[in-house]
Amino acid sequence: MDGGKAGRRRTGRRHPAALLEQAARLAGACWAEASALAAERHTAVEASWAQERKDKDQEISELVADLDQASAEKDAAATAHAGEITRLEAQRGALERQLAVIGKQLEDSREAERAAAKEAADAARKLATAEVRASTLEQVHNALLQRVSPETKGAGE
């Protein structure tokens, strides 16, 4: 029995270097495998990160282009609106001047109407006075004719 124990011990002692070597090889293989997997994962993560960065850069470029286009459209619209405002202000100024001219013409027309109405009233008053005078003169004339006529009739008989 002792021989068996001793043999086992011996075999156990004989092979520890081989076991250590196998363990070291296994550990080295595991380390190499882990390093290879880590390198693959790192490469995959770098590739993914590079693609994400590229996608984000592309998206940012598109957003900048959209912003530039929107800004250009806004500037064009502002320029067009400014031109339209200038045109409308000029048109308003012209219409105000035209309104002032028409207002002056209206005032002149009203003044002429008042003058014509005054002249018409004066003419109507003069006409009425002339008609009264003519009527009075006719009555006086008729009265004179009646006085003169009876004497002429009496003298001729």
Is this model's pTM higher than 0.75 or not?
no
Per-residue model confidence (pLDDT) at position 148:
86
Q: Tell me the DSSP string of 67-93.
A: HHHHHHHHHHHHHHHHHHHHHHHHHHH
Per-residue model confidence (pLDDT) at position 149:
74
Residue 15: what are its φ and ψ, rounded to 5°?
-100, 0
Query: Which residue type, as a one-letter code, is found at position 14?
Result: R
How high is the mean pLDDT in each 10-residue block of the chain (157 residues)?
47 71 92 94 95 96 97 96 96 97 96 96 96 94 85 55
Per-residue model confidence (pLDDT) at position 155:
55
Q: Tell me the DSSP string of 1-46.
A: -HHHHHHHHHHHHHSHHHHHHHHHHHHHHHHHHHHHHHHHHHHHHH
Structure tokens at 124: 């109507």
Per-residue model confidence (pLDDT) at position 7:
46
Per-residue model confidence (pLDDT) at position 109:
97
Fill in the DSSP letter of residue 157: -
